[in-house]
Amino acid sequence: MTNMTRRSLLLSAAALGMGTLASCTTIGKSGGTPNEGGRSAGNGGRFGVGDYNTQEVADELRYIEENIGHLPKSDAKRILITGSTGGLGQLTAAYLLARGHSVVGHARNDRRAADVQRDLPGLEAVVTGDLSNLDETRRLATRINELGAFDVIIYNAGEYGVANAEILNVNSLSPYLLTSLVDAPQQSIYLTSDLHLGGDLKLGELRTGGTDVTYDDSKVQILTLAMAVARRRPKLRVNAVAPGWVPTMMGFANGPYAPDDLRAGYMTQVWLAEGSEPASRGSGGFFFHREPEDDVHPSVRDTRAQDDLLDAYARRTEVTLR
């Protein structure tokens, strides 16, 4: 599928989906009381099929378990992945673990932490914090710092099809807070989406305490954040990835159809984290399936827009990025 076809599909799906999602139940979001949040490992077994993972993700987790081997010990890194209890985050964690890296997972609560510890028993640790609650995100930053330095942090956690206030906190304000409050790793990787092309920075909403930030808006915000951090921290490596429309629970939010390759959807994060090729060792890049992606929203590379976004985030959260 060409990039153009892929994008047209994504954008038309978004146009169809965003209007109806508020009244839809996302497939498989069966677990948990409103207080607990998240999805539970009900009848889906070890990899939570139908509860927090699709069959495709579970099959890929088994593929990783059976086929991926260790790198030499000297190449091992210490890596934290937010939202590693399902989907792309769990696949990235599983692959990096199988390669012999030390991986710290992240779950929204203790129940989901227990799920991922059962699914991926090799994890060094799992930190918890619900990213829809910014006080929890601040406490999460403290816990991460208590664990000591990381080589890589992957800002993967994301929500789609929930209220805009939650989208804003999980997809945008929490990654900003963690970036600002956690001791900076050698490398940071931010998950965005092609759908960012239809979004807007919504600086007014951020500045005035508003919450009218759609999924697409949140993804142009996080991509612009990544490029701003790359510019502000020139000695560190900071990149962003659009994984494609892939068959995770999020990918199936509008029905069981996702055209892109699941493995390619997490291998760019692995490739960047390992830095095994010269092309994966730069900073300020935006990648789709390991290739630089040139089709970006105009705000993303606009240094003034980047600074305006950082300023709006700082006003909103009272935390300034250093």
Ligand X SMILES: NC(=O)c1ccc[n+]([C@@H]2O[C@H](COP(=O)([O-])OP(=O)(O)OC[C@H]3O[C@@H](n4cnc5c(N)ncnc54)[C@H](OP(=O)(O)O)[C@@H]3O)[C@@H](O)[C@H]2O)c1
Catalytic machinery residues = 215, 219
Q: Which residues pair with 82 in a beta bridge?
A: none
Whole-angstrom distance, CA of residue 132 vs CA of residue 70 = 35
The two tokens of residue 47 are 């990899």
At its nearest, how many Å lie between ligand X and the CB of residue 212?
A: 19
Whole-angstrom distance, CA of residue 173 vs CA of residue 262 = 27
Whole-angstrom distance, CA of residue 110 vs CA of residue 120 = 15
Whole-angstrom distance, CA of residue 257 vs CA of residue 249 = 11
Q: Which stretch binds ligand X (CB under 6 A): 130-138, 143-151, 287-295, 308-316?
A: 130-138
The contact pattern for ligand X, residues 233-272, with x = CB under 6 A and - = no contact, is ----------x-xx-xxxx------x--------------
Q: Which stretch binds ligand X (CB under 6 A): 95-103, 124-132, 146-154, 289-297?
A: 124-132
- The whole-angstrom distance between residue 72's C-alpha and the CA centroid of its chain comes to 28
Q: What is the DSSP letter of 85?
A: S
At its nearest, how many Å lie between ligand X and the CB of residue 303?
A: 25
At its nearest, how many Å lie between ligand X and the CB of residue 210?
A: 20
What's the maximum distance between 2 C-alpha atoms anywhere in the chain?
A: 51
Cα separation values, 266 from 162, 214, 271, 313, Å: 23, 24, 9, 28
CB 17 within 8 A of CB 90: no
The two tokens of residue 19 are 């209007």
Q: CB-wise, 156 or 268, nearer to ligand X? A: 156
Residue 56 sits in the site that holds ligand X (CB under 6 A): no
Of the candidates 119, 130, 216, 217, which one interacts with ligand X according to CB under 6 A?
Answer: 130
Question: What residues from 204 to 233 belong to the interface with ligand X (CB under 6 A)?
Answer: none
Of the candidates 44, 89, 185, 285, which one interacts with ligand X according to CB under 6 A?
Answer: 89
Q: Which of 97, 40, 48, 89 is nearest to 68 (CA)?
A: 97
Whole-angstrom distance, CA of residue 216 vs CA of residue 200 = 7
At its nearest, how many Å lie between ligand X and the CB of residue 85?
A: 4
Binding-site residue total for ligand X (CB under 6 A)? 29
Write phi, then psi, for 107 (nearest 5 degrees). -130, 155
Q: CB-wise, 119 or 205, nearer to ligand X? A: 119
- Residue 57's CB: how many other CB atoms inside 10 A? 26
Q: CB-wise, 36 or 311, nearer to ligand X? A: 36
Residue 112 sits in the site that holds ligand X (CB under 6 A): yes
Of the candidates 44, 83, 175, 198, which one interacts with ligand X according to CB under 6 A?
Answer: 83
Residue 60 sits in the site that holds ligand X (CB under 6 A): no
Q: CB-wise, 207 or 245, nearer to ligand X? A: 245
Q: CB-wise, 194 or 205, nearer to ligand X? A: 194
The contact pattern for ligand X, residues 144-183, with x = CB under 6 A and - = no contact, is ------------xxxx----------x-------------
Whole-angstrom distance, CA of residue 162 vs CA of residue 192 = 17
CB 126 within 8 A of CB 161: no
Q: CB-wise, 129 or 275, nearer to ligand X? A: 129
Name the site residues for ligand X (rule: CB under 6 A). Answer: 38-39, 52, 83, 85-89, 108, 112, 130-132, 156-159, 170, 191, 193, 243, 245-246, 248-251, 258
